[in-house]
Amino acid sequence: MRLAGRKALVTGAASGIGAAIAARLKADGAEVVTADRTPGCDLTVDVSEPDAAQQLAAACGGRLDILVPNAGVSAFEPIDGHSDAVWATTLDIDLNAVFRIIRASTPLLKQSAAGRIITIGSVMSTFGEAGMAAYAAAKHGVLGLTRAVAIELGPDGVTANCIQPGAILTGITRPAFEANPAFRDYWQQKSALKRLGTPEDVADVAAFLASDDARFMTGAALVVDGGATAHP
């Protein structure tokens, strides 16, 4: 098992992409500390809380090789009625918390012989979408943060890469797709593979980035969208 002997921390791990990543890392032999604001993980924590990052780092017990700060939210609000509250909440969970968790985990990652930071951006890390101003801004920020961290921590042997998922069918997105079949059909047909993605599609890429196979990759953005953004 290619991750045997390594320790990982995955946030937002109670469901969806986070749960799939945690399961895949475990299957590859890693010891995984899971966290979510929903009970059921090793640690119940709201990443937007000021002391959450320190709680997460402490829960690793002094050792960490793989960090996946996956927890996130999204909301649809047209810009002319976009509330300050939704903007602040989205940026705080999707970007500020990712920064704080990386910052708190860096001392542990520097001690690792194979430190890995794997952030979860979005295809909206590189383009925008109507009604998604806060989410797009946050995910653009995640990509920029990842690349800056990759440059800074490279001399310490720590890599940092960003996965950019497209339309992924999860417990959170399923109600939206079911409520709006045209929206689901749009993304399914836009995909070159003519299907929506699954959490496992993303988890497999995360497992690759966590492994020695990706040892010379850092500062990269890996789009996992079935080819949806390969054409207009």
Residue 177 lies in a domain: no
Query: Among the residues of the chain, which ranges form H helices?
Result: 16-27, 52-59, 84-91, 97-111, 133-153, 174-179, 181-190, 199-210
Is the model's pLDDT at 222 over the cut of 90? yes
Domain of 115?
A: 7-169+198-223
- State the catalytic residues: 135
* pLDDT at residue 77, as a whole number: 87
- What domain count does the chain have? 1
Is the model's pLDDT at 175 over the cut of 80? no
Residue 185 lies in a domain: no
Q: Enter the tokens of residue 111.
A: 């001690």
Residue 181 lies in a domain: no
Residue 52 lies in a domain: yes
Is the model's pLDDT at 103 over the cut of 80? yes
CATH number of the domain enclosing 81:
3.40.50.720
Residue 155 lies in a domain: yes
Q: How confident is the model at residue 179 (pLDDT cuts 50, 70, 90)?
A: confident
What gap in Å lies between CA 199 and CA 197, rounded to an integer?
7
Q: Is 227 left (phi over 0), alpha (psi -120 to 50) or beta?
A: left
Helix H or strand E encompassing 48:
none
Is the model's pLDDT at 74 over the cut of 90? no
Tokens 């890693």: give the residue.
30
Residue 27 lies in a domain: yes
Helix H or strand E encompassing 229:
none
Contact 62, 200 (CB under 8 A): no
Q: How confident is the model at residue 160 (pLDDT cuts 50, 70, 90)?
A: very high
pTM of the model: 0.96
Average pLDDT score over residue span 153-178: 91
Query: What is the Cα Rg of the chain in Å?
Result: 17
Residue 176 lies in a domain: no
What gap in Å lies between CA 201 and CA 203, rounded to an integer?
6
- Judging by DSSP bridges, how do beta strands 43-44 and 31-36 pair with one another? parallel
